[in-house]
Chains A and B, each alone.
Chain A
Amino acid sequence: MADLTDASIPKFAAGCRWGGTTEAPVVLFPEGAIRVEGTGRIILELCDGHFSLAEIVQKLEAQFMLAPKGKIRADVETFLQQLHAKRIVDY
């Protein structure tokens, strides 16, 4: 697996994109779809190729100010690594 660092720019892997409806968005990928809600959706919306991991974490920390230090970064990393193993997100 590729290393996920501050400078990594996570984005949808080949053949992965948004689908479904605005109320119930899904991520479509070869042979499957996942429904993403809440924080997962916020993270994935930032995976548009414009933001590095450090910037994504910064944005989330600004939005969720009460989260314990380091927790947001750990959660974002785990989430992106899981999607990377499924070839939904590349970085």
Chain B
Amino acid sequence: MPNPLALIAEITHRCPLHCVYCSNPLELTSRNEELATADWLRIFAEAAALGVLHLHLTGGEPLARPDLAEMIEGARQSRLYTNLITSGVGLSRERLAQFVEAGLDHIQLSFQDSSGGPANWIAGARAHAHKLELAAWIREHQIREQQTGERRIAFTVNLVVHRQNIDHLEEMIAALEALHPDRMEIAHAQYYGWALQNRSALLPTRAQLDRAVAVVAAAEERLRGKVRIDMVVPDYHARFPKACMGGWGRQLLLIDPAGRALPCHAAGVIPGMFFDNVRDHPLAWIWQNSAAFQKFRGEAWMPEPCRSCERRQEDFGGCRCQAFLLTGDASATDPVCELAPLHHLIEDAVREHATAGPVPAAREASFHALQENTAGFWSYRTDPK
């Protein structure tokens, strides 16, 4: 059995933002169920011993945990490559300096759009201006480290793309480029959790997607050697499914705020699954023996056409959660696949939802005006109790 390469640590589900495409589950974990600092430090050590190289600290908003600097330090002591995935809200200049000092390798800052009005409208919170301020502080660290020849922290800007912002992708890339990132992640929304609820407002049309792909290709060419661009494609418009998580229980594991170990972000939606908890078992035991991790590992679970498909070792039959969410059967071929018996579900969704208009986001409108004009347009992610 291969060992996991990355650990996704959802250290809290609390978040000051309410992004309409949030990948968190609809049922969020509350604060009083959250693991303690010592639990996380033990998990990091166990993960490193199991062969994990990368740790992704995420949430919710990981900054909501006051012990985050301690966690970063503990992760680095366990020799993990430590990445902080954040909205930036809750990060002061002093706290950033603490994280850099603690050994943070990489900070990934999310953006919702290129200007405050629409960005805050998508996030459901006034966050954009602070993100710009934070980007400037990160830049200061990078310049200082460059001058002193010290190890430098990597800076990624992350942009989730969907129908409400896809038409000005070029403008967004230019705005983010001005922040001097090392890397840009342009991720099309994936339809789970909150994004699935809001799919009819988020799904782009094929023509919009084609233009966006051309824009990204041009930016890649122009920025080669300067900014690395990674794009996450929207699978609804693909011919074949994504190799979700690099295959179930093959490369990644996720620990939720309460300590449950999941093979992916959305696995909790699949009925009848039991997720073992790191409070009860060592991580190695969970990886090897937990029923949840074994459920779709390998190929024995596969139906036709996956079972005899040449691509089964490339995409592993696609995403189990998406299969369940759209077909009601977690063992079905991911309906994104053009060979799937239920592929028409995707075609229907695209036909029904991916319509060009009406886009209420006037670019120059304020957050307040946009919210007033679009009441009921989509549902914002709520905060856990």
Nearest 4 A-B pairs (CB), nearest first?
A15-B154, A1-B225, A14-B152, A87-B228
B87 contact set on A, CB distance < 8 A? none
* A60 CB, nearest partner CB in chain B, Å: 23
- Cβ-defined partner of A14 (8 Å) among B53, B81, B182, B224: B182
Is the CB of A20 closer than 8 A to any CB of chain B? yes
Question: A15 — nearest CB in chain B belongs to which residue?
Answer: B154
Whether A14 contacts B153 by the Cβ 8 Å rule is yes
A29 within 8 A of B: yes
Q: Which of B79, B106, B226 is in CB contact (< 8 Å) with A30?
A: B106
Interface assignment of B177: CB less than 8 Å from any CB of chain A: no
User: What count of chain A residues pass the 8 Å CB interface test?
Assistant: 20
Q: Write 28 A-B pairs (CB below 8 A) sorted by A numbering.
A: A1-B224, A1-B225, A13-B154, A13-B182, A14-B152, A14-B154, A14-B182, A15-B106, A15-B153, A15-B182, A16-B154, A17-B81, A17-B105, A19-B53, A26-B53, A28-B53, A28-B54, A30-B156, A31-B230, A33-B5, A33-B53, A33-B81, A85-B225, A86-B228, A87-B182, A87-B183, A87-B227, A87-B228
Question: Which residues of B are found within 8 Å of A84, using beta-carbon distances?
Answer: 225
A19 CB contact (under 8 Å) in B81, B108, B153, B182 = B81
Name B216-260 residues within 8 Å CB distance of A. 224-228, 230
Interface string of B92-109 (1 = CB under 8 A from A): 000000000000011010
Is B44 engaged at the interface, CB distance under 8 Å to the other chain? no
Give, as a whole number of angstroms, the nearest-CB distance from B383 to chain A.
28
Residue A40 CB within 8 A of the other chain: no
Task: Check if B83 sits within 8 Å of A30, measured CB to CB.
Answer: yes
- B277 lies within 8 A of chain A by Cβ: no
Question: By the criterion CB–CB under 8 Å, are A31 and B152 in contact?
Answer: no
Quick one: closest B residue to A16, CB to CB? B154
A residues 61-91 with Cβ under 8 Å of B? 84-87
Would A28 and B105 count as touching, CB distance under 8 A? yes
Q: List the interface of chain B (C-beta within 8 A of A).
A: 5, 53-54, 79, 81, 83, 105-106, 108, 142, 145, 149, 151-156, 182-183, 224-228, 230
Chain B residues positioned under 8 Å from A14 (CB to CB): 142, 145, 152-155, 182
Q: How far, in whole Å, are A68 and B286 apart by their CA atoms in the complex?
A: 53
Q: How far is the CA of A39 from the CA of B106 in the complex (A)?
A: 28
Using a CB-CB cutoff of 8 Å, which residues 21-66 of chain A contact chain B?
26, 28-31, 33, 49
The answer to whether residues A19 and B79 also contact, given A30-B156, A33-B53 and a CB cut-off of 8 A, is yes
Most buried by B among A14, A19, A33, A87: A14
Q: Are A28 and B155 in contact (CB under 8 A)?
A: no
Residues of A within 8 A of B83 (CB): 30-31
CA distance A30 to B183 in the complex (A): 9
Q: Smallest CB–CB gap between B219 and chain A, Å?
A: 14
Whether B154 contacts A29 by the Cβ 8 Å rule is yes
B182 touches A28 (CB 8 A): no
Please give 18 more A-B residue pairs, beta carbons under 8 A apart, in addition to A1-B225, A30-B106, A30-B154: A2-B225, A13-B152, A15-B154, A15-B155, A16-B154, A19-B53, A19-B79, A20-B53, A26-B53, A28-B53, A30-B83, A30-B105, A30-B108, A30-B183, A31-B183, A33-B5, A84-B225, A87-B182
Task: Among B182, B225, B230, find the residue whose CB has the most chain A CB atoms closer than 10 A.
Answer: B225
Question: Do A33 and B105 contact each other (CB < 8 Å), given the known contacts A14-B142, A15-B152?
Answer: no
Interface centre among A2, A15, A33, A87 (most CB of B within 10 A): A15
Complex contacts, B154 vs chain A, CB 8 Å: 13-16, 29-30
Which residues in window 1-19 of A have CB below 8 A to B?
1-2, 13-17, 19
Q: Distance (Å) between the CB of B14 and the closest chain A CB?
A: 25
Pair A17/B225 contact, Cβ less than 8 Å:
no
A17 contacts B151, C-beta separation under 8 Å: yes
Counting chain A CB atoms within 10 Å of each CB, which of B108, B183, B226, B227 scores highest? B183
Chain B residues, Cβ within 8 Å of A31:
54, 83, 183, 230
Q: Which of B105, B145, B149, B151 has the most CB of A within 10 A?
A: B105
- Cα–Cα distance between A16 and B153 once the two chains are bound (Å): 8
Give Cα A15 to B83, complex, Å. 10
- Across the interface, which residues of A come within 8 angstroms of B145, CB to CB? 14
